[in-house]
Structure 1
Amino acid sequence: MVAGRPVSGAWRYGHESALPGILNIRDQVQASLPGVPVRLAFTSNIIRRIWQERRKDPAYAVQHPEVPTEIINVKGPLAAIADLQDEGYGYIVVQPTHISSGEEFADLASYVQGLNAIKTVKKRNMPFRKILIGRPALGTHGIEHEYRHDIEQVAAVLAPDVEMAKKAGRALVYFAHGNEHYSTGVYLEFEQVMRKRYPGVRIYVTMVEGFPDNARLFEELAADKTRKVLLKPFMTVAGDHAKNDMAGPEPDSLKSQLETRGVNVAASLVGLGESDAFAAIFARHIKDVMSDEGL
């Protein structure tokens, strides 16, 4: 998400099912920053191309009236920032909607660092005063904002998920994206925080990529003799990974693999961004980075 002192959001989703989470975060951010323009941006080249193809198809907008024009015309972070610079904004906040400080966040931070490195001969010709970047939901490195506190904040807003699993008599399994970037162990820390905060329900975390992985999940479920689980995407939106990798009918989906092991599986295809309390975390992170800069 980009705001200047707009805010720009960095999302990468092509499924219409991802839109409720995206748009709710946008709305929560806009409500918390009245008068500040908020723009959406997608970091993924692949996802932007999907929307570009849809933009060329006149029938798409007719068939999908629920899709806002700003999504159909969505740009990448660099283009969104350039638009704000053209409009005269000197301070721009780039707020990722990533869960953790992984590969995509590192790439986005590199964009911001590169733009901030521009030095014109005359100061008045600088394209920006400064571009700021907020931190992911689970925090990042640095001493200004303790990442452990960010983990606790995320855990605190997930009580409804735990209650849903408890009422159904199921363990709660969060399915995160992860990445092949060097692991920080933050997902294991999140799992530990959740287990300590909600001791009445067994809670597990697994990921599409990286660790903790499905092999670990299967071992833990077997050791705990857990036979009933509720799958929830630990992702900002319930897009392709949630629909297919987590809960799809294919034999390699997490749901199918669990069922072949005799586990009774229920799945909830609701992204974290659809929760107002979770969406508000990103709004707070924007305010934090603005406050740090004295804005």
Structure 2
Amino acid sequence: MRKRNIRKAAAALTALALCAGVLSGCGGAASSTASSAASSSAAASSEASGEDADEAAAKNVADLIDAIYVQERNDSTDEQCAAAKAAWDALTDAQKELVEGENADPDYFGRDTGDASKDDARNEDNIGENELLVVSFGTSFNDSRVKDIKGIEDALQAAYPDWSVRRAFTAQIIINHVQARDGEKIDNMQQAMDRAVANGVKNLIVQPTHLMHGAEYDEMMEMIDSYRDKFESVAVAEPLLGEVGSDATVINSDKEVVAKAVTEAAVKDAGYESLDAAAAEKVAFVFMGHGTSHTAKVSYSQMQTTMQTLGYDNVFIGTVEGEPEETACENVIEAVKAAGYTKVVLRPLMVVAGDHANNDMAGSDEDSWLSQFNASGAFESVDCQIAGLGEVPSIQELYVAHTKAAIDSLNG
């Protein structure tokens, strides 16, 4: 019995040896193919797993960005801003390209908008008794913030050295963006007013950089009114275009100053000696504002009337929102075509050259003004000037004049 089992075992070993010889000979290619397939399968599985991990990491950042893309500050805002930036910095370049959320995209942290260190948040204490609070909607475009908003603030500080100039933004979304990306903390309205109270400010002048008495201005006034009894005196200066007026025919001196200033700057930047010289070459200038459903939207119609009154026949006013209706992009295109101009220069009618100027006006998307004007096929050329009103010296001087009127009102 034991000998039979030994013989069976020997036969089995021989069979195995023969089988091995066959596999290493004629069957070698099959073995190699099987091994390669197994390796490819493992690599594919690993790649799929890696893609899932990339998407998960990108989604986490998108969620963190969406969490701070809000108009209300809360007790966790500082920590949320820091967490979003830390998570972004931990991504690979490939993962950053995958960031996409309700409001999040790779440009939130990745777009280069200039050097934030050149800015001054003006959020320091030691204010003194007299404060000049400059209130802006704000922008996350660093270069524009420095040229336009800081430019206005610097002009005001130089004009009124006895007043401490401080800053407040009304857009918390922008405040959070700048803080998360650049580490720059800008006060919102409530923070700025609380800072003024804590510093013992007695006399408060508020200079809005807003274009008009619109929705942002109204919200600002509500906040100011809730703090009036905490100061000895409070005065609010006019926004850039001054009083709204009752209808489109009303033109005040502020609108005329702005019309002349923006047109002169645009003509110069376009390389023409005068507006008439540009008109002779069939060049039209289109100034794009924001637009609003607020009753103050008549201000845009008044600006168009101002241009016509000044004889600026090749200047047109439009708005991103298309309110009032005649300022919608398609209507402006038709107006420029009907007037016979074949070349167009687009420029923002906004204090800052931020997101609207860079994207809605000059962006590559098909719904940008640049794309729509080009798509019309009616013009030989369409150029864009990325420059805010705030960097124009005569515009800064107008803000200085508005502040002077407010200070004079405190002095009786």
Answer yes or no: same fold by TM over 0.5.
yes
1:246 to 357, 361, 367: 361
The unaligned stretches of length 5 or more in structure 2 are 1-121
Matches within 5 A, 1:64-79: 72-79=184-191
Q: Are the equivalent residues in 2 in contact too, given 1:251–1:257 (CA < 8 A)? A: yes
1:48 to 175, 192, 196: 175
1:205 to 317, 326, 329: 317
1:222 is aligned to 2:334 = no
Structure with max Cα Rg: 2
Distance 1:288 1:152 in 2: 18
Distance 1:283 1:178 in 2: 25
Q: Deviations over 1:188-240 (max 9, x none)?
A: 111221232243x5000001122222132022122112221111111111101
**Structure 1 residue aligned with 2:115:** none
1:275 to 384, 392, 401: 392
Distance 1:164 1:46 in 2: 32
**Structure 2 residue aligned with 1:138:** 241
The unaligned stretches of length 5 or more in structure 1 are 55-59, 62-71, 119-126
Matches within 5 A, 1:246-265: 246-262=361-377, 263=379, 264-265=381-382
**Structure 1 residue aligned with 2:206:** 94
2:401 to 274, 278, 284: 284
- Structure 2 counterpart of 1:35, one-letter code: D
Deviation, 1:73, is 1.8
In percent, how many aligned pairs have the same letter? 28
Q: Are the equivalent residues in 2 in contact too, given 1:102–1:178 (CA < 8 A)? A: no
Deviation, 1:157, is 2.4
1:129 to 221, 232, 235: 232
SS at match of 2:365: coil
- Structure 1 counterpart of 2:258, one-letter code: V
Distance 2:216 2:133 in 1: 15
1:10 to 106, 127, 135: 135
- Structure 1 counterpart of 2:254, one-letter code: D
Task: State the structure with bigger RCO (CA 8 A, min sep 6), 1 or 2.
Answer: 1
- Pair 1:288–1:207, CA change in 2 (3 A): same
Q: Are the equivalent residues in 1 in contact too, given 2:288–2:347 (CA < 8 A)? A: yes
| Structure with a larger share of its residues in helix | 2
Q: Are the equivalent residues in 2 in contact too, given 1:115–1:131 (CA < 8 A)? A: no
- Structure 1 counterpart of 2:373, one-letter code: L
Q: Are the equivalent residues in 2 in contact too, given 1:7–1:93 (CA < 8 A)? A: yes
**Structure 1 residue aligned with 2:162:** 35
1:161 to 263, 266, 273: 266
Moved over 3 A (4+): 1-4, 162-169
- Normalised to the residue count of structure 2, the TM-score between the two structures is 0.61
Distance 1:39 1:137 in 2: 18
Distance 2:215 2:304 in 1: 21
Q: Are the equivalent residues in 1 in contact too, given 2:284–2:336 (CA < 8 A)? A: no
Q: For the aligned residues, what is the CA RMSD?
A: 2.4
Q: How many residues align?
A: 268
Q: Are the equivalent residues in 2 in contact too, given 1:81–1:92 (CA < 8 A)? A: no
Q: Are the equivalent residues in 1 in contact too, given 2:212–2:296 (CA < 8 A)? A: no
1:185 to 298, 305, 312: 298
- Normalised to the residue count of structure 1, the TM-score between the two structures is 0.83
